[in-house]
Amino acid sequence: MEAGGEYIRPAVQEAEEHMTMHDNVAVEEMLRDAEDAIEPGDLATGQVISQSQDMTMTTSELQSAGWVYVYDTLTADRSVVNRNMLPQQLEKRRLDGSYAFSTRRPEGVDPIRGQLKCLLHDDGPNRERYNSMGLVHCVKSNLLTELARERHMKYRHPRAFATLEDERRREDRDAERLERIALTDSIRAMADSNRGAKDA
């Protein structure tokens, strides 16, 4: 019995070391050294939330676990994670078994940056129209593809995305209706000219 335990123990110890080490850096150390990120959202201490004639509601304090930056180990892309979710994020692995995220920026890897801006960016060509529609502003300006821009709109700005999609569908329907009217008019004109040729 004891002999069997001797053979199992090195495997257990290796597994424990593997679970707590992230490229020779302890996960606990990575959790402690994580770079603080700005609290996401629009609320700030003292901000007016609601106001009526008799009462004003403001935020007195904001409490959260805090937010930190994590880096993709392949692309060096930086994203924000809640401290409560950081251990789970650091344990995510790729198919080859390597870690997907780290709290340390990968050395020698330049992040891939796109050039496309969110449709709701302040520099967008339709910004004036979007302002009149009451759509939000966005600072995202490094999207790689049109698909990435569409997914960003759909998941980051769902209301604005739905509004713009509804607008696009309405314009498509109007264009189709005008095409049908033009086609009907041209068929009618052809029929009238054929009738006139027969009468002559």
The pLDDT assigned to 54 comes to 82
Low-confidence ranges of the chain (pLDDT < 50): 1-20
Instruction: Concatenate the DSSP letters of all residues of the chain into one string.
Output: -HHHHHHHHHHHHHHHHHHHBSSSSBHHHHHHHPPEEPPPSS--TT-EEEE-SS-EEE------S-EEEEEETTT--EEEEEGGGHHHHHH-B-TTS-BSEESSPPTT-PPP---BPPTTBTT-TTHHHHHHHTPPPB----B-SHHHHHHHHHHH-HHHHHHHHHHHHHHHHHHHHHHHHHHHHHHHHHHHHHHHHHH-
The ranges assigned to domains in the chain are 1-37+67-111, 113-200
The pLDDT assigned to 107 comes to 86
The pLDDT assigned to 28 comes to 57
The pLDDT assigned to 2 comes to 45
